[in-house]
Structure 1
């Protein structure tokens, strides 16, 4: 019996110390593909993906860099998507932030090698310029109860800070019950000063993250378009859901528009991951939501996005856990206890 699934690709911040060796541990049979990625890195004078993954030591300073994290996450996520059990039919693909580039390859709009070129180029450009930064702050409580008024108040505060002289702040990613904010140092500091610490760790700054999905990234987007031609992009083989909730259909995609979105709007405007997941749920009604590795942190944002959209009557953490325990429908391949549910 076939199981339908929406595949969800992760973004930055998902390859951490526990993930060191992920490619070698789970995908030793795909080394030829990784070696093709290594050749692209070597041509650019960069350390290879297999060497980075096979290193004996992990350091946050190195592995959180865009030019290191991005290619590792791409290789791991794509390989996971290629390793799904034969009874799983992928009905759509989406991703979070950088995960959009991976989704393009998983869906077939980019070849594995061209997807790697896009990810490696953009990760390197982001790191080279490192314009601004990001922080994370929740608007839901620890039980995931939706608080529309609180979200609205926080976004109003962001807009006010953005009007101050020499302050830049904007919503970078709508991430389930979290707001990922991005801006310059003055804007980020102003938000941190004005809002209390909640759940013992927020507001949380993200190491080596630029002000993704804001106008501050316009120079990076322009460089990306100069480096990466529209001829890299083709028709997807599977539907893709972007950071606006728009569906790109096989056989009906304007590949020029896809290139423009990927290296334009997607880089400089808010990425609405919540809407993408809710669109996936409504339009494709899959049996499973499969989050590829590395890491498993994106699973919480997927679950929150579904509860915020009242998917299958879920409204909070408890109702999600009840359905999930009865019949697991959210699978994080980066979790050892869930991986076999997707790989067979």
Structure 2
């Protein structure tokens, strides 16, 4: 009993699209050479679909932006890396008390929490990732709403909201808030709307607004047809109650003993496909409802760490008021452990 009490309570955060990049090439081969059967099962499924294996993608000589970021490849590849990381968490040191994720990371969270078994997970993730092989619907654009100290700038937030209303009043323009991502907003929309938005928003840091390559207008009404198609292709029987609590993109908690699998199916293939994904809210609920000792961010990559930190600062969690406070905390007693970073990864194993 004492050993159980000494475990650190952790909430696990699953990454979404755009996290497997050039520097992550070989992630599976390098960090998870023991996951042969797991990877083989994914590739056996993909072979049936006439798709390239994730093993060959991971072991490619060079990172190819168009190939590696295509939905039908990126989704399965990121899923494999993230679940392999999840399986590598030292359960003698850490007790997973809840799981959440960002955008596509919701599907990975379902698998990590046990709401999908291994084959159901790859069927869901591969199917959703392959929905736009013949053409991506709309696009996504990311824009900061925080200052250099990672505190939300209300003026910037108000400005983006006004600009969004103005753009949507123009003929043929459709733009929505796709993801609330800590100190950033991700917009999703049609090409005309995003182009108008790009021209209307003030340039920041010589980088933003930034169009996200190969990303569709996820979490917006533009994907209504994808939701309908998904429900026709994927059966409710794939879903079951999770083993540990799940926190979704509305901040709802799906508890193991009260979860209705049909409702979870409806949310996953309905609501979260066409409505804003509030990752910021998911982090707020994670810390306030579960009071974890640590947050573990699964790989590949570590880009999600900044958005998580900004979400913590918004809540003044652990007395964090700005970026400098967070950096100081991470140096002395890191609260966020990103498995895509070697030093922090060692603390999780």
Q: Counterparts of 1:128 and 1:102 in 2: how far apart (Å)?
A: 24
Match of 1:257 in 2: 263
Q: Match of 2:223, SS?
A: helix
Match of 1:246 among 252, 255, 259: 252
219-228 or 316-325, which deviates more: 316-325
Q: Match of 2:217, SS?
A: coil
Q: Counterparts of 2:258 and 2:218 in 1: how far apart (Å)?
A: 29
The root-mean-square deviation of aligned C-alpha atoms, in Å, is: 1.0
Structure 1 residue 263: Cα displacement? 0.3
15-24 or 122-131, which deviates more: 122-131
Give yes or no for contact 1:212–1:268 (8 Å, CA) kept in 2.
Answer: yes
Q: Counterparts of 2:108 and 2:102 in 1: how far apart (Å)?
A: 9
Q: Counterparts of 1:185 and 1:49 in 2: how far apart (Å)?
A: 30
Match of 2:79 in 1: 74
Match of 1:38 among 43, 62, 68: 43
Match of 1:309 in 2: 315
Structure 2 length-normalised TM: 0.96
Give yes or no for contact 2:160–2:201 (8 Å, CA) kept in 1.
Answer: no
In the comparison of the two structures, how many residue pairs are matched? 343
Match of 2:188 in 1: 182
Match of 2:18 in 1: 13
Structure 1 residue 127: Cα displacement? 3.8
1:322 maps to 2:328: yes
Q: Counterparts of 2:165 and 2:230 in 1: how far apart (Å)?
A: 28
Q: Counterparts of 1:155 and 1:108 in 2: how far apart (Å)?
A: 38
Give yes or no for contact 2:141–2:187 (8 Å, CA) kept in 1.
Answer: yes
Structure 1 length-normalised TM: 0.98
Give yes or no for contact 1:9–1:96 (8 Å, CA) kept in 2.
Answer: yes
Alignment of 1:151-190 (within 5 A): 151-190=157-196
Give yes or no for contact 1:214–1:269 (8 Å, CA) kept in 2.
Answer: yes
Give yes or no for contact 1:71–1:119 (8 Å, CA) kept in 2.
Answer: yes
Give yes or no for contact 1:134–1:212 (8 Å, CA) kept in 2.
Answer: yes
Alignment of 1:1-344 (within 5 A): 1-86=6-91, 87-343=93-349
Unaligned runs of 5+ in 1: none
Q: Match of 1:182, SS?
A: strand
The Cα offsets for residues 232-252 of structure 1, whole Å up to 9 and x where unpaired, read as: 001100000000000000011
Structure 1 residue 255: Cα displacement? 0.4
Structure 1 residue 163: Cα displacement? 2.3
Q: Match of 1:295, SS?
A: coil
Structure 1 residue 206: Cα displacement? 0.5
The Cα offsets for residues 157-199 of structure 1, whole Å up to 9 and x where unpaired, read as: 1122112210000100000000000101111111111122111
Give yes or no for contact 1:142–1:199 (8 Å, CA) kept in 2.
Answer: no
Structure 1 residue 117: Cα displacement? 1.0
The Cα offsets for residues 17-61 of structure 1, whole Å up to 9 and x where unpaired, read as: 111111111111111011010111000010111121111121101
Give yes or no for contact 1:159–1:170 (8 Å, CA) kept in 2.
Answer: no
Unaligned runs of 5+ in 2: 1-5
Q: Counterparts of 1:159 and 1:82 in 2: how far apart (Å)?
A: 44
Q: Counterparts of 1:72 and 1:7 in 2: how far apart (Å)?
A: 19
